[in-house]
Copies of this chain bind each other. A is one copy, B any other.
Amino acid sequence: MAKPKFKELRRCYGFDEVAIMPGDITVNPDQTDIELTIGNLKFDVPIVAAAMDAVTDVNTAIQLSKMGILAVLHGEGVQTKYDNPQEILDEIVHAPQAEMASILQKIYSAPIKEDLLAKRIEAIKKAGAICAVSVTPANTKRLVPVITAAKADMLVVQSTVTTARHVSKSYKGLVLSELCQSIPIPVIVGNCVSYSACLEIMREGVAGVLIGIGPGAACTSRQVLGVGVPQVTATLDCAMARDTYFKESGRYVPIITDGGMINGGDMCKAFASGADAVMLGSIFAQAKEAPGKGYHWGMSTPSPVLPRGTRIRVGTTANLQQILFGPTSVTDGTQNLVGALRTAMGFCGASTIKEFHNAEVVVAPSITTEGKAWQRGMTCSS
């Protein structure tokens, strides 16, 4: 029997599998420009703190803003569901691991209080900081008036998978184009991973797109649903969508790679793959100022019927200043992220993030045999 033409599967890549090739020119790190622009807002550093309760609260949002960093407050988390979020955070931190998933389900099943949402936004604004808030598509219409009334600077509409076209019988789907036109602040939407989904979202008029679904195999979404695309490929593809959209519209919409980065090396790879910014969770959860107090939990809003994340101990290692700008004595890439970004850009001869997008990313798998790892590469010169 003649063989048919079998289906070919596309190979996708994650951070662990790639490396950045240095350039033919090098630039001194102090000559690199890493500014980020989203809509009408400018940030000194293209790193965004995730809309997760272990990472962003009123306090860290204010501190990070002062450092030139965008932090997104979780609009449907403990900050907006509980008058005293500290009490709830303590409960999460001290709960036994075995009961974690059900405790998170219970805690996050509480209703969002609109007055608390307004109160949190106002507290951040009052400190002179930039305030961004995240909501899920299903709650967007209801919460947008509160958010704009409280004078937030940016809206983030985020769910595991968000597309420009959603079919639902239980509620009238959110029309992104209407949303973007109807409110005066930039709207970031996510998450998506494919060229076509990203392009469609950009055409709705959004100010930025979050990239990343089930990044890395440990993401529970992969185990529970089988859905997900490794971050390097997702970023490469969506960067291509951004460039296509820029050609057709003249508007440059930044993409923000969200999730799966555990050190500066991963972060640099995201930029070299085409990211305009990165959204970090677990790295910020390690900060002394982090509300998670050394813990982190996966899903921003655990599902009551199909949970896909649990609590993780990440430890408390340094303050936000050190994590972002150093100096540091750790060699694992979790501190001085800005120094790492500028150094990597310099090695690639990139003066700007956009030039860094031209760096070549190559497939270079990690060594799997742990025992040999220590010896490999020991002679990197200074």
Q: Is the CB of B170 within 8 A of A262?
A: no
How many of A's residues come within 8 Å of B, CB to CB?
157
Q: When the two chains form their complex, are residues A220 and B333 in contact, meaning their CB atoms are under 8 A apart?
A: yes
Among B50, B232, B268, B377, contact of A379 (Cβ-Cβ < 8 Å): B50
Residues of B within 8 A of A23 (CB): 163, 197
- A268 B227 Cβ-Cβ under 8 A: yes
User: What B residues does A227 contact at CB under 8 A?
Assistant: 19-22, 265, 268, 344, 347-348
> Which residue of chain B is the closest to A168 with respect to CB atoms?
B28
Q: A153 within 8 Å of B by Cβ?
A: no
Instruction: Give Cα distance in the complex from A24 to B360, angstroms.
Output: 29
Asked if A229 is an interface residue, CB under 8 A from chain B, the answer is yes
Residues of B within 8 A of A302 (CB): 382
Interface residues of A in 50-109 (CB under 8 A from B): 50-52, 76, 101-102, 105
Segment touching B, from A110-118, A141-149, A364-372: A364-372
Interface contact A378-B19, CB-CB below 8 Å: no
| Interface status of A192 (Cβ within 8 A of chain B) | yes
Q: Contact at A19–B30, with CB atoms within 8 Å? A: no
CA distance A237 to B298 in the complex (A): 36
The minimal Cβ–Cβ distance linking A154 to chain B, given in whole angstroms, is: 16
Min CB gap A312→B, angstroms = 5
Of A36-44, A125-133, A275-283, the segment with at least 4 beta carbons within 8 Å of chain B is A275-283
When the two chains form their complex, are residues B167 and A301 in contact, meaning their CB atoms are under 8 A apart?
Answer: no
Residue of B nearest to A241 (CB): B4
**Residues 161 to 196 of chain A near chain B (Cβ within 8 Å):** 161-170, 190-196
Contacts of A161 in B (CB 8 A): 22, 26, 347
Closest chain-B Cβ to A325's Cβ sits at a distance in Å of 9
Complex interface residues of chain A between 277 and 313 (CB less than 8 A to chain B): 279-282, 296, 298-310, 312
Decide: A220 near B340, CB < 8 A? Known: A194-B24, A368-B368: no
A 332-367 to B, binary, CB cutoff 8 A, 1 in contact else 0: 110010011001100111010000000011111111
Contact yes or no, B366 A217, CB < 8 A: yes
The one of B24, B329, B369, B378 in contact with A296, judged by C-beta atoms closer than 8 angstroms, is: B378
Contact of A347 among B6, B136, B225 (CB under 8 A): B225
Decide yes or no whether A208 CB sits under 8 A from chain B: no
Task: Check A52–B379 contact: CB distance below 8 A.
Answer: yes
* Pairwise interchain contact A307-B333, C-beta atoms closer than 8 A: no
Q: Which residues of B are found within 8 Å of A7, using beta-carbon distances? A: 236, 240
A363 contacts B11, C-beta separation under 8 Å: yes
Partner of A307, one of B20, B193, B330, B373: B330
A226 touches B327 (CB 8 A): no
Q: Are A377 and B216 in contact (CB under 8 A)?
A: yes
Minimum CB–CB distance from A369 to chain B (whole Å) comes to: 7
Please indicate the chain B residues that have their CB under 8 angstroms from the CB of A215 in the complex.
Answer: 376-377, 379-380
Task: Given contact pairs A4-B244, A218-B373, A224-B263, enumerate 9 new A-B contacts (beta carbons under 8 Å).
Answer: A19-B214, A190-B381, A191-B381, A217-B365, A218-B375, A218-B377, A282-B378, A299-B381, A303-B382
Chain A to chain B contacts (Cβ below 8 Å), 12 pairs: A9-B363, A12-B364, A24-B163, A24-B197, A160-B382, A167-B351, A218-B367, A218-B378, A224-B340, A262-B376, A299-B380, A306-B336
10 interchain residue pairs of minimum CB distance: A219-B377, A216-B376, A281-B379, A301-B382, A226-B268, A226-B265, A216-B377, A217-B366, A259-B379, A102-B329
